[in-house]
Amino acid sequence: MTVVACPTCARKVEWTPENKFRPFCSERCKQIDLGAWAEEKYTIPAAAPNELQDNPLDEDKH
């Protein structure tokens, strides 16, 4: 049996089909995570694109 940590509270959770909230331990932790996404608390870091790499056709102008 696989055991994982709840992403919200770190409680140990069994990864089984019977656990309808997996990877969360409860409906509460699932809703807390959903609320964080809705409030845009999670972000994916990205580097600013280089303008020359974005449009290779502009290279002929230089």
Which string of b and e fits 6-34 if b means at least 16 CB within 10 Å? Answer: bebeeeebeeeeeeeebebbeeebbeebe
Residue 10 main-chain phi, psi, to 5 deg = 70, 10
Please check if 53 is assigned to a binding site: no
Please check if 25 is assigned to a binding site: yes
Please check if 6 is assigned to a binding site: yes
Please check if 21 is assigned to a binding site: no
Residues belonging to the binding site for Zn(2+) are: 6, 9, 25, 29
* Residues in the annotated binding site: 6, 9, 25, 29
